[in-house]
Amino acid sequence: MPPSFSDFAFEARIAAQSLVDSLGGLARPTLRLGVTGLSRSGKTVFITALVHALLRGARLPVFRAYAQGRIRKVTLEHQPDDAVPRFAYEDHLAALSGADRRWPESTSRIAELRLVIEYESAAGWVSGPRTLTLDIVDYPGEWLLDLSLLSKTYAEWSAEAVAACRHPARREGSQAFIEALGALDPGQPADETTARKLSDLFKGALAAARIEPLSFSALPPGRFLMPGDLAGSPALTFAPLDLPGGKEPPAGSLAAVMARRYEAYRSHVVRPFFRDHFARLDRQIVLVDAMAALNAGPAAVADLEKALDDVLLSFRTGRNTILSSLVSPRIDRVLFAATKADHLHHTSHDRLEAVLALLVDRAKRRAEGLGARVDVAAIASIRATREAQVRQGREELAAIVGTPLAGEVIGGERFDGETEAAVFPGELPEDPAKALARAGEADYGLRFVRFRPPAAATGADGRAGVLPHIRLDRALEFLLGDRLA
């Protein structure tokens, strides 16, 4: 499809905004870091842990600027975009470190936070005091997957979405939608009751695919699951249809109305997000709950691989030049992070990393071919467990120990949220291909227990002390290290 005038106008607005950002960055170097995560991946916890570690002084040996003592001061400042909600760092930290120690609520909209890092540069002839402004942009992963819709017509998206609903793994949760679809003629006159009913049934099918045990990830349109202030609007009241191939839907038909609303969604929801926020990012981390997909089985693994591929296709990746940074900035580093590594013994951390590396291998090679750097890591932004050796008969088994959330059941015992428990989490095979091939098998399933956040010591100033983590310093080094050299 040849580019339209609206496409050129869209790119021109991106270029204008990029030029404004770049000129501002000449006086005050700024790095915009995008943080997103597919469902249940822990992005709110990641941002809170990252900010807290820099402000309070966590142990970060791999983060060289910090380990070498070159970071002098880190402060929170007012964010640059007054129309964007602020990331509620203080509220989330209070939830994690307060007396009831609970995981913070997930955010369902875009949010920002600005850190100013004063550091000592060690880069040869330009050594000396420097300042880097770090703007953290937090947004739902579901919105990121919507960017793939910009390159698809309504007919193309409909064919993919209907086929996905009919997939054997999703058919039960999609049954009501499939039956309603079969009773409709796309060419029939449109009416609002039918459109709303079909849209609601489709949203129900998406929601059913997202929850365990299915744990699917690639479920656009993302705002159907996280509508925010758009709930009930016509732009969110559409659904895919079984369309006859090669025919233009008659005016006023159900198919024509659905196609028009799909275009409205792309124009008024997806494009503004891309233009105003996503296209301005310099670096990106994508948090992934890979273990949930391994537990759910092959269909969930295949869906996760597709979602991760779509994620990298959405990014404008590549090496930034002086010109590109002025008018068409690119994301030059992307980190995929498998979260919840604290649910496994440390002997499986590298194996979890290898599984994620295999899942993103194809997309990674494509992005690297454009000049971007892509890495993977297994992390726990906040470590909720510790490791122990537990004797069982004559054997000593590697276990993780933590405080299960109230209501968690282990070995038939229901926990109260106060009592600790030792859990044998299972281990991943050394060969990541074997790990993926055996996904969902009963004798291999990883044993997940939801733990409370760890008890954090209170500092001398009465504020929350350092929170433990796994490889958060490695993530920081990849994302920020070169800009603090």
Tens digit of pLDDT for each residue in 419-445?
999 998 888 889 999 888 888 775 555
Examine residue 446 and state whether it is found in any structural domain, yes or no: no
pLDDT reported for residue 439: 80
Judgement on whether residues 12 and 125 belong to the same structural domain of the protein: yes
239 and 178 in one domain?
yes
Which residues of the chain register pLDDT less than 50? 1-3, 5, 14-15, 18-19, 22-23, 25, 318-328
pLDDT given at position 420: 94
Shared-domain flag, residues 135 and 164: no
Provide the domain count of the chain.
Answer: 2
Q: Do 24 and 134 have their domain in common?
A: yes
Domain boundary (267, 299, 327) is at 267
Tell whether 218 and 363 lie within a shared domain. no
Q: What is the pLDDT of residue 127?
A: 75
Residue 285: inside a domain, yes or no?
yes
In this structure, the answer to whether residues 284 and 225 fall within a common structural domain is no
Q: Are residues 208 and 230 in the same domain?
A: yes
Q: Residue 332 sits in a domain of what CATH number?
A: 3.40.50.300
Q: Which residues neighbour 9 within 8 Å (Cβ) at sequence distance 6 or greater?
A: none
- Note whether residue 463 is domain-resident: no
The answer to whether residue 64 sits within a structural domain is yes
Residue 144 lies in a domain: no
- Are 250 and 323 contained in the same domain? no
pLDDT of 328 reads 47
Q: Of 267, 289, 316, which residue constitutes the final position of a domain?
A: 267
What are the residues facing 116 on neighbouring strands?
Answer: 75, 133
- Is there a single domain that holds both residue 111 and residue 205? no
267, 285, 310 — which closes off a domain? Answer: 267
Instruction: Write the CA distances from 139 to 96, 203, 221, 266, 287, integer angstroms.
Output: 20, 20, 15, 17, 12
Q: What amino acid is encoded at 25 in this protein?
A: G
Q: What is the pLDDT of residue 116?
A: 98
Give Cα separations from 72 to 68, 103, 395, 466, 475 (angstroms): 11, 30, 49, 18, 20
- Residue 436 domain-assigned? no
Range of the domain at 479: 5-139+277-381+470-484
* pTM (predicted TM-score): 0.85
Q: Examine residue 392 and state whether it is found in any structural domain, yes or no.
A: no
Q: 472 and 50 in contact (C-beta within 8 Å)?
A: yes
Question: What pLDDT, on a 0 to 100 scale, did the predictor assign at position 369?
Answer: 77
Question: Do 84 and 122 fall into the same domain?
Answer: yes
Q: Are both 261 and 318 inside the same structural domain?
A: no
Are residues 120 and 211 located together in one domain of the fold?
no
164 within domain boundaries: yes
Predicted pLDDT of residue 400: 94
Chain centre distance of CA 475:
15
